[in-house]
Amino acid sequence: MKLLIVEDDAMMGASLQAALTNAGFEVHWLLDGESALVALSNEFYRAAVLDITLPGMDGLSLLEHLRASGSTLPVLMLTARDTTRDKVQCFDSGADDFLVKTTDMEELIARLRALIRRAGYVGRISVGELMIDTDTHVATQNGQLLNLSNREFDLLQALMIHADKVVTRHQLEESVFGLSRNSESNALEVHIHHLRQKIGEASLKTVRGVGYMLVKP
């Protein structure tokens, strides 16, 4: 599982990277918020650990930017200060958890794993000749790579988890668009149309007035 660490303190960053790597994570360590924004737009991470005090764009500003864009990435905030005000700021900005930097690594790793489980980590899913790997964000059909956008991947994942069951429009919008969902938009239908073209018309059934269903072969 790939994790992003954004921490400008060299000693703390190296300790986090070593501990999380030893725990089996693939760790990408960056030193500032601007670099993290670029990485988050180009890479898929299972969770992020953000320091509050960063050069340039601080951790809270980075987190607020993520949430405003609709990202539901699990985020654990780190700070050297353990005050109620700091905790409230973190949670108000959209943090999923909060730890002080003196916390031992075992607790941090346990909390990260809990955040990832709550976010719905499922690993690999197979339905017939379709397979997705939620760690690598790779989808294949009959062993051939499917070229899916991030939202098409999220849509396929939601449908595969509930294969042969109707998934409502509301459930799919929540899975694909999260907080940026707009019930007036036809964006879901557009993504369904594109996904059908890539996996085959017969695989994806419309249940009129309810939602959609991925049909098992």
Domain boundaries, the chain: 2-118, 124-214
**22 pLDDT more than 60:** yes
pLDDT score recorded for residue 182: 54
Task: Kindly state the tokens that stand for 153.
Answer: 């991947």
Name the one residue in this structure whose structure tokens are 């993290």.
Answer: 36
CATH code for the structural domain at 124-214: 1.10.10.10
Angle between helices 169-177 and 187-199 (to 10 degrees): 90
pTM of the model: 0.62
pLDDT score recorded for residue 103: 67
pLDDT score recorded for residue 166: 92
Report the alpha-carbon distance of residue 22 to residue 129 in Å, rounded.
Answer: 34
Q: Which CATH architecture has domain 2-118?
A: 3-Layer(aba) Sandwich (3.40)
Q: What are phi and psi of 143, to 5 degrees?
A: 80, 0
Report the alpha-carbon distance of residue 116 to residue 100 in Å, rounded.
Answer: 20
CB–CB of 125/131 below 8 Å? yes
Same fold, 2-118 and 124-214: no
Task: Kindly state the tokens that stand for 182.
Answer: 């707009």
**179 pLDDT more than 50:** no
Residues 62-75 have pLDDT tens digits of: 999 999 988 889 99
Residues 72-122 have pLDDT tens digits of: 899 999 988 778 888 898 999 999 999 998 668 989 999 998 898 888 776
Q: Which residues contact 3 (CB under 8 A, 6 or more apart)?
A: 20, 25, 26, 27, 28, 45, 46, 47, 48, 49, 112
